[in-house]
Amino acid sequence: MKIFFIGTVKFSFDALNALIRSGSEVVGVATREDTAMNSDYKDLRPLCDQFNLPYKIVNDINHPNNISFIKQTNPDVIYCFGWSNLLKTELLTLAPKGVVGFHPAHIPHNKGRHPIIWALCLGLKTTASSFFFMDEGADTGDILSQEIVPITEDDDAASLYDKLTNIAIEQILDFTISLAKGTNNRIRQLGTGNTWRKRGRRDGEIDFRMPSKNIFNLVRALAKPYIGAHLVYNNQEVKVWKTEMSNLGQANDEPGKVLDRNDHSFTVKTGDGAITILEHELENIPRIGNYI
């Protein structure tokens, strides 16, 4: 089965690498240069060069020149893993077996933007690794493969990303065989579910009036490979990479008050308790009793 591959992030790289090394017939690749759109961007060109795969750097995947390049490879199926733009009808109908997309959430629930970040930020206990046949909607096509993925208190963006990647690669290698044989699943999504919105800069801002758990979840959700949560101190945005909840603080302490500090970390009163900032980019930690 001839596979054309579209992708531009670390997950794309790992999936493409696994396909190549499994002996799958990858006939071409479409990818992007780094535009800072994806914080988990990964260059696929070195992998293509290593295995002599034809590739094309694209901006608009639906442009006629890019459609022509894909057509020339005569694919049986297209895999689109890690691509933020919708595909139009001409591309969706180009390969006989269709276009397979990926969404790291339990579709039809939690479609849309930033699924790993939202899952952690909202404190969800599970997510899913979902592959589906793409249509002109966003994450709305028939499900090909779906596996539930647990989220623990110890997970942050990096660990959940890796957990999803490991499970997803097993799924890819499995359904690639079933697609080639024509024995694959195709399950219609039931119900409309919900769609997560795009996050903005203010969604990543720590407000110490928030409950400690909300701050903890926000920080782990935006940990690397993402952009990091931030607090504002002296009119400057300061990145925060890791926190833990603390039992310091009295009911009559105001949110934002520094309760404890050492050379590297400090504890701040929150809306319902306190939180310790363990990893951050603040050059000068405020003194105990000051406010942040």
pLDDT at residue 37 is higher than 80: no
Task: Domain count for the chain, please give it.
Answer: 2
pLDDT score recorded for residue 255? 97
Mean pLDDT, range 34-57, rounded to an integer: 92
Separation between Cα atoms, residue 223 and residue 217, nearest integer Å: 10
pLDDT at residue 171 is higher than 80: yes
CATH number of domain containing 81? 3.40.50.170
Residue 116 makes CB contacts below 8 A (sequence gap 6+) with 104, 127, 157, 160, 161, 164, 221
Separation between Cα atoms, residue 57 and residue 28, nearest integer Å: 11
Same domain, 148 and 50: yes
pLDDT tens for each residue of 188-233: 998 889 999 999 999 999 999 999 999 999 999 999 999 999 999 9
- Name the pairing type of β-strands 77-80 and 126-133: unpaired
Cβ(209)–Cβ(250) below 8 Å: no
Same domain, 171 and 61: yes
Residue 37 makes CB contacts below 8 A (sequence gap 6+) with 84
Separation between Cα atoms, residue 227 and residue 237, nearest integer Å: 12
Closest CA to 286 of 211, 208, 203: 208
Q: Is residue 109 part of a domain?
A: yes
- In the listed set 195, 225, 256, which residue is the last one of a domain according to the structure? 195
Local confidence band at 137 (pLDDT 50, 70, 90 cut-offs): confident
Local confidence band at 120 (pLDDT 50, 70, 90 cut-offs): very high
Q: Domain of residue 226: give its range.
A: 203-280
pLDDT at residue 36 is higher than 80: no
Same domain, 118 and 77: yes
pLDDT at residue 24 is higher than 80: yes
> Is the pTM value of this prediction over 0.75?
yes
pLDDT score recorded for residue 192? 86
φ, ψ at 166 (rounded to 5°)? -60, -45
Percent of the chain with pLDDT over 90: 91
CATH number of domain containing 242? 3.10.25.10
Q: Is residue 285 part of a domain?
A: no
pLDDT tens for each residue of 70-115: 999 999 999 999 998 889 999 999 999 999 999 999 999 999 999 9
